[in-house]
Amino acid sequence: MFSLVLSREITDDETAALREAGCAEAVFGTDQLPTNAEVTVAKLDFDDTVSPSLAEAIEGALEAVKAVPDLTVPGLTVPAVKKAPQDGENPAVVEGEVVETAGAVAE
- Taking only the tens place, the pLDDT of each residue in 26-56 is 999 999 988 899 999 999 999 988 899 999 9
Residue 22 falls inside a structural domain:
yes
- CATH number of the structural domain spanning residue 19: 3.30.70
81 vs 20 pLDDT, higher one: 20
Q: Evaluate whether residue 101 is within a structural domain.
A: no
Cα gap 105→16, rounded to integer Å: 40
Gap between the Cα atoms of 103 and 28, Å rounded: 37
What pLDDT is attached to residue 90? 61
Residue 84 has pLDDT above 80, yes or no: no
Mean per-residue pLDDT over the chain, rounded: 83
Global pTM reads 0.73
Q: Other CB atoms closer than 10 Å to residue 6's CB: what's the count? A: 23
d(CA 106, CA 5): 30
* pLDDT tier for residue 92 given thresholds of 50, 70 and 90: low
Number of domains in the chain: 1
Give the range of the structural domain holding residue 70, as residue numbers without chain letter. Answer: 2-77
